[in-house]
Amino acid sequence: MGRLTFLDICSGIGGFRLGLEWAGHKCVGYCEYDKFARASYEAMYDTEGEWKAYDVTELRPGDIPYADIWCYGFPCQDISIAGKQRGLRGKRSGIYYSIIDLIKGKEEGDKPTYLLVENVKNLLSVNAGFDFAAVLSEMDEAGYDVRWQVLNSKDFGVPQNRERVFLIAVLRSRGGREVLPVSGEDGGALKEVIGGMQGYRVYDPSGVSVSIGANGGGMGAKTGLYCVGDAEPGGRIFVDQTLNHPKVTEVARCLIAQYNGGLTNYGNSGVLETDSAVQEARAVLTPDRVEKRQNGRRMKETGEPMFTLTAQDQHGVYLPEEVSGGAETALPVRNATKQGYDMARPGDGIVLSYPKSGSRRGRVGKGCSQTLDTGCMMGTVTKCGKIRRLTPRECFRLQGFPDELYERAAAVNSETQLYKQAGNAVTATVAYAVAMALPESRELLVRTEAVWELFDVMTKGSGDARTQPLFFLITTAGTDRHSVCFEQHQKAEDILCGRKADPTFYPVIYGAEDDADWTSEEVWYRANPSLGHTIDIGKVRNACLSARDNPAEENIFRQLRLNQWVKQSTRWMQMEKWDACAFPVDEGELLGRECYGGLDLSSSIDITAFVLVFQPRDDTERYVFLPFFWIPEENMARRVRRDHVPYDVWEKQGFLETTEGDVIHYGFIESFIEDLGKRFHIKEIAFDRWGAVQMVQNLEGLGFTVVPFGQGFKDMSPPTKRLMELVLERNVAHGGHPVLRWMMDNIFVRTDPAGNIKPDKEKSTEKIDGAVAAVMALDRAVRHGGSTGSVYDERGILSF
């Protein structure tokens, strides 16, 4: 059992992804609606070649590639105690149903083994627990056993008091093993449901989650921030007071508030030149208003974690300092639910936004941050009783993200968006702990640790007895990008490119560039300096010829002969064989002929394909493919720019049609198919059952025989294999249709342990809809040809 693959749905900035990658697993795709979060995500991670999507509600099961794990923290706005608590009836949090419906729509063999789900703790009790019961019921209906646990980020290596419920569902038919409970420094309440759910009271909260928020605004006089610096703690900070805003002349790691901001009715209103050493920081919330939105404390004690990052609150830190007489600075902070003030001492956290007595969040956190949200209105008290807001970098740290990833996100987004993204994120360290609870992670860790242990023994200990030990590390490329080998390869590349310096490490790499022509002998010589001397050029030529004839060997050739790090997936269709089948197709000669249709109905904004397959009438004829394609007119130009696919050229050449508007006009397609039925003898139309209910009913109303066609191995494997046989035999005529050719070239297949195959939609910008439609139509033509009468034989042509 090896590394697992996963899809990062409702990905945000990739908290789940980071945790799962730390555990050794591989991301194969992601889906995120928010364009700013998506920009950060694509800057933070290497997503080249991965499947991607934007709106999960527009997807169909067949659009999504297989992965062992689906992880998602679906929107919490309708569930959170800070919102209106519409629950799953709300538009945003109701996305849960869209995701679970996608899973239900997949064949059993295509479903993920694990579902990792995260949301606010209030999911357990919103709408009197009925919504959570619905969550469990839907997962049970989809075939999953579910366990859940409330985990607090402060128990997993970050100083943030952030309680979230994590659900881990295991596909029942795969016999998955127990995953939860996950243990941090403290335990958590654990419940489970196996095979069903009885009753609706699923959780009785035993504690209160104190949270913080993150409205991107609140700068300047509103929160009174600001001298930003980067020096190590203990450095000194001096300010020039000749400007309206303090100017830092010697920077420290923190901000200094410009004024008290109404936190109390007394205190200094400016930054003093006497402000000196930067010391330990404590979390603070909402220093600038008399009333606050949260209940509880505004400020944390030394050593306590930060308040929970949220999307509405302001966050900051207090820097403790002994004042005259040796007394520690303390601020009176007004609470929401009682008269008077709490004494917030240096380092306590304070929510910076308005309080609400109906909220469970405290305003002051003792020594820790409250829950970060998307506004990050969290503060902390600084020395001399001044409070500053947390920086976006600090918010990312509180969610477990390394500074390197923060800097990539900061390069493409504003601070407002960074605060929001941190508040919405899944804490990466918690995601890692959950990922490591998977049995496959533990087994992978054992094997990986064994390899690293051997590597460390060989390189760090065995040479100690020598004054100048010399180690040689020699290897070809591989496929595992989490291995010792790839790490050393990356280190070598970094040194060669000047990104790193290590005088003890001398790298030499012979290999072909990723985009090099792997069939070129010039490329072979660059990757093999001894080619023709120690390596027989004839053997390399023979291996290349074999790889060209058998695409399954291409990656092996590139990896072992050219030292390229390749994926394990393999392009399936041999395009030179496909091109050899570009025999002319004359629609006029096909009039009245029997044929079978395959309909791959897209989402409303995507390409839709309909392919007719005509059987040969005798041994001198071939299977004839007649494809048709449609795309929304108003988004075609955008898709050309985004996908770099010449839809506009194909439209002008007549190889695809556009429908009016920015979504597919299904009525137009129905009318088009009806017209085809008058010209050709369409005996059956096979369709992907997902999302085609209304069109199927309409086509049946027009008199067509329509049959559902599963997208799993059972249904797809026989016709997919048969298509390859026919192409190799040159027993197909497709007329060289460029759109269908492009889609055939995009096909990647996945194989199950029994040797069955099916097309695998791996890249969103490389469509295979026409190929899938052709496979479905071919299945009906091969297996059921001549068994069904024509609809027009029974009732003739309908007139309207």
The Cα–Cα gap between 419 and 396 comes to: 8
User: Quick check: is 353 in a domain?
Assistant: yes
Q: What pLDDT, on the 0 to 100 scale, is given for residue 532?
A: 86
* Backbone φ/ψ region at 37: left (φ over 0), alpha (ψ -120 to 50), beta: alpha
Q: Which of 26-35, 342-351, 657-666, 750-759 has the lowest mean pLDDT?
A: 342-351
Do 560 and 597 belong to one domain?
Answer: no
The alpha carbon of 166 is separated from its chain's Cα centroid by a whole number of angstroms, namely 17
Asked if residues 678 and 592 have their Cβ atoms less than 8 Å apart, the reply is no
The Cα–Cα gap between 682 and 688 comes to: 17
* Backbone φ/ψ region at 575: left (φ over 0), alpha (ψ -120 to 50), beta: alpha
User: Quick check: is 292 in a domain?
Assistant: yes
User: Quick check: is 89 in a domain?
Assistant: yes
| Residue (of 346, 358, 348) closest to 286 by Cα position | 348
Q: What pLDDT, on the 0 to 100 scale, is given for residue 295?
A: 59
Q: Which of 34-43, 480-489, 617-626 has the lowest mean pLDDT?
A: 480-489
Maximum average pLDDT range among 602-611, 648-657, 755-764, 781-790: 648-657
Alpha helices per DSSP H over 5-82: 15-22, 35-44
What does the pLDDT look like over 744-775, one tens digit per residue? 988 878 777 677 888 876 543 468 889 999 99
The residue from 330, 360, 390 where one domain ends is 390
**408 by DSSP, 3-state: which?**
helix
Q: How many domains, in total, are found in the chain?
A: 4
For 513-528, what is the mean pLDDT? 87
Residue of higher predicted confidence among 730 and 182: 730
Q: What pLDDT, on the 0 to 100 scale, is given for residue 363?
A: 65
Do 151 and 80 belong to one domain?
Answer: yes
| Residue (of 715, 607, 572, 604) closest to 110 by Cα position | 715
Q: What pLDDT, on the 0 to 100 scale, is given for residue 559?
A: 83
- 318 phi and psi, to 5 degrees? -110, 130
10, 27, 31, 76: the catalytic one is: 76
Residue of higher predicted confidence among 793 and 116: 116
Clarify whether 76 is annotated catalytic.
Answer: yes
The Cα–Cα gap between 587 and 589 comes to: 5
Asked if residues 226 and 245 have their Cβ atoms less than 8 Å apart, the reply is yes
Asked if residues 329 and 385 have their Cβ atoms less than 8 Å apart, the reply is yes
Give me 435's structure tokens: 């990922």
What does the pLDDT look like over 257-271, one tens digit per residue? 222 222 222 222 222
Do 717 and 595 belong to one domain?
Answer: yes
**Residue 321: which pLDDT band, with cuts at 50, 70 and 90?**
very low
Do 696 and 778 belong to one domain?
Answer: yes
Q: What pLDDT, on the 0 to 100 scale, is given for residue 476?
A: 78
Check pLDDT > 80 for residue 217.
no
The alpha carbon of 556 is separated from its chain's Cα centroid by a whole number of angstroms, namely 29
The Cα–Cα gap between 147 and 173 comes to: 16
Residue of higher predicted confidence among 405 and 82: 405
What does the pLDDT look like over 615-655, one tens digit per residue? 999 889 999 999 999 988 877 877 776 566 788 889 999 99
The Cα–Cα gap between 58 and 190 comes to: 34
What does the pLDDT look like over 680-718, one tens digit per residue? 999 999 988 665 677 888 898 899 999 988 888 888 899
Check pLDDT > 80 for residue 310.
no
Tokens 């729509």 belong to 105
The Cα–Cα gap between 659 and 669 comes to: 9
User: Quick check: is 592 in a domain?
Assistant: yes
Chain mean pLDDT for the chain: 72
Give me 354's structure tokens: 């308005």
Q: What pLDDT, on the 0 to 100 scale, is given for residue 283?
A: 66
Q: What is the pTM of this model?
A: 0.49
Asked if residues 191 and 181 have their Cβ atoms less than 8 Å apart, the reply is no
- 168 phi and psi, to 5 degrees? -120, 115
Do 279 and 152 belong to one domain?
Answer: no
Do 542 and 592 belong to one domain?
Answer: no
Q: What pLDDT, on the 0 to 100 scale, is given for residue 257?
A: 27
Check pLDDT > 70 for residue 81.
no
Do 553 and 609 belong to one domain?
Answer: no
Check pLDDT > 90 for residue 46.
no
Check pLDDT > 90 for residue 31.
yes
The Cα–Cα gap between 651 and 607 comes to: 12
Residue of higher predicted confidence among 57 and 584: 584
395 to each of 192, 349, 370, 402, 650, how far by Cα in Å?
Answer: 32, 13, 11, 11, 48
> What residues make up the domain containing 282?
220-390
What does the pLDDT look like over 441-463, one tens digit per residue? 655 555 555 566 667 666 766 66
For 36-47, what is the mean pLDDT? 92
- 136 phi and psi, to 5 degrees? -65, -40
Asked if residues 547 and 553 have their Cβ atoms less than 8 Å apart, the reply is yes
Check pLDDT > 80 for residue 286.
no
| CATH code for the domain in which residue 752 is found | 3.30.420.240
User: Quick check: is 340 in a domain?
Assistant: yes
User: Quick check: is 401 in a domain?
Assistant: no
Percentage above 90 pLDDT, the chain: 22
Do 131 and 261 belong to one domain?
Answer: no
User: Quick check: is 418 in a domain?
Assistant: no
For 69-91, what is the mean pLDDT? 64
Maximum average pLDDT range among 7-11, 117-121, 136-140: 7-11
Do 188 and 231 belong to one domain?
Answer: no
User: Quick check: is 399 in a domain?
Assistant: no
**Residue 318: which pLDDT band, with cuts at 50, 70 and 90?**
low
> What is the residue type of 636?
M
Do 61 and 17 belong to one domain?
Answer: yes
Do 151 and 238 belong to one domain?
Answer: no
Q: Which of 466-470, 499-503, 776-780 has the lowest mean pLDDT?
A: 466-470
**788 by DSSP, 3-state: which?**
coil
Q: What pLDDT, on the 0 to 100 scale, is given for residue 87?
A: 57
Maximum average pLDDT range among 5-14, 236-245, 464-473: 5-14
- 82 phi and psi, to 5 degrees? -80, -10
DSSP codes of every residue in 415-467 = HHHHHHHHHHSPPHHHHHHHHHTSHHHHHHHHHHHHHHHHHHIIIIITTTTSS
Do 234 and 313 belong to one domain?
Answer: yes
